[in-house]
Amino acid sequence: MLEPALQGTLNVLRSCKKNPELRRVVLTSSSSTLRVRDDLDPKVPLDESSWSSLELCKKLQAWYVMSKTMAERAAWDYCRENGIDLVTILPSFVIGPSLPPDLCSTASDVLGLLKGETERFQWHGRMGYVHIDDVALCHILVYENEDSHGRYLCSSVVMDNDDLVALLATRYPTLPIPKWFQKLDRPHYDLNTSRLRSLGFKFKSIEEMFDDCIASFVQQGHLTLQPAAPI
């Protein structure tokens, strides 16, 4: 996982360097590149100045996080050395309609949760969430805004698993959504998205994310919604 992420990113940037008309490169990174640390202060929201610890990633065998962190750091090094105007977007857990019929791992985890499974989703613990439309619009915004620079956290809200399922169970009472999750030893954190909001960006709500996601599952035949019993 590490080498493909690193070399894949650098290969794209090498191709970008060949284009003399290049204005700016917007790279999709991940919020995981800043929140895997052993010195988190629960009272101080994480912002773009934070980076995940490669040593801790290795210790936890968090290879996805490590690959994303290494790839983004390599991108910044390459672009500084080659005069490329780079901006990076750090989305949290992306929720919304699924375009391809074959679900990605994120969508599969959400579908499992809606069907009453807890094993895969429990691993996420406390997590930031963002609508897929917002992720796309964020890329366009920072590409077109000449004053954009550096890293931008792209996340609407951070929630614990138990709070999330309580909201979803109320909104979708006919789905077998789990009532609670086993507590894991995970640090509490929040995300400071003021850099992106300062550009005038407004995020969709957690309700909109899951409404669109569930509607997509139903349309594609992955999920069946029963009418709620009359009160």
pLDDT digits (tens, 9 = 90+) for 137-192: 999 999 999 999 999 999 999 999 999 999 999 999 999 999 888 877 778 899 99
Residue 220 near residue 205, CB atoms below 8 Å: no
Q: How many residues does the chain have?
A: 231
Task: With 0.85 as the threshold, say if the pTM is over it.
Answer: yes
Tell how strand 93-95 and strand 150-154 pair up. unpaired
Sorted by sequence, the CB contacts under 8 Å of residue 169 that are 6+ apart come out as 175, 177, 179
pLDDT of residue 124: 78
Structural domains of the chain, ranges and CATH numbers in brackets: 1-220 (3.40.50.720)
pLDDT of residue 229: 58
pLDDT of residue 114: 94
Please give the Cα distance from 218 to 229 (Å, whole number). 19
Please give the Cα distance from 130 to 177 (Å, whole number). 20
Please give the Cα distance from 227 to 230 (Å, whole number). 9
pLDDT tens for the chain, residues 1 to 231:
899 999 999 999 999 999 989 989 999 999 999 999 999 898 999 999 999 999 999 999 999 999 999 999 999 999 999 999 999 999 999 999 988 888 988 899 999 999 998 887 777 788 999 999 999 999 999 999 999 999 999 999 999 999 999 999 999 999 999 988 887 777 889 999 999 999 999 999 999 999 999 999 999 999 998 776 555
CA-only gyration radius of the chain, Å: 19
pLDDT of residue 230: 56
- CA geometry: angle at 185 spanning 182 and 189, to 5°? 105
Tell how strand 157-159 and strand 127-131 pair up. antiparallel
Instruction: Kindly list the distances between the CA atom of residue 160 and the CA atoms of 28, 89, 117, 177, 231, in Å, as whole numbers in the listed order.
Output: 25, 23, 16, 15, 30
Please give the Cα distance from 89 to 141 (Å, whole number). 11
Which residues does the annotation mark as catalytic?
Answer: 68
